[in-house]
Structure 1
């Protein structure tokens, strides 16, 4: 024989628990859909839009690749990923300040592997690009950083007063 329940659950609480359970089940069943974006046609120019579901360094390197005269000379026009769904190799670790990625790209002339390496030397420092290159199918490697660095950040005004708690400035706790 069962005794009386010590912890009675009110109908309102039971309904709330059921709704929470259904909501989490529904959230698990939602499938994220990605649409493929075709390479731009010659009259459209380079694709310059950043998609929110793609990592920023990958989109930035593709944008810089499409606008680089040297890369366009090597690969041709209509620079895009070599596969419909790109496979990006390497590491993007923003917490430790390391980005080292490579993936295959194609243009109207040929295919190549694009490599991008950047490090952040200090905790609050900026990323410094150490390698941005193209390696074509026959093994020739072209350094795209020669001449100019499209990833260089323009420094902020040096006369600006850095106030703790404002923007990304960390408070000075060394005093």
Structure 2
């Protein structure tokens, strides 16, 4: 998922087009964060929207039935609305505090559990997750919790490869 929140539209589109080429070459879907226009312009595989963005039912109308739509949810009501609106998955969090979003209300492990149990959709935990706490997140044992999304766990570190390897090892151990 591309998180270029502050990029100018033209620059963002060029980066997205470059990312699409790389992702397609490796069989990896590319989702654009918040920007339906960019997702359409680069023919991304989908988009992830927050509660203050265009509602998922409008995104579905714009992108059509074959694109992936994710919605950020903190509550059981938001999770239900995402299902009604035609989302494919939800991102629940922030589970823990994070530097990528200022003043972000955290839901904690208990909030993540509540949303997972209420959701008819696959759930990805987001917010403050890294190799030291990912096992606790995945260890809640709810079948529709399918994974974690991370940003600062990788990109605020000196070596992305090293951090990704540690996170991968933690997740493999937690899910086996």
Q: TM-score, normalised by structure 2?
A: 0.24
Q: Which has the higher contact order (CA 8 A, sep 6+)?
A: 2
Structure label with greater radius of gyration: 1
Greater share of residues in helix: 2
Greater share of residues in strand: 1
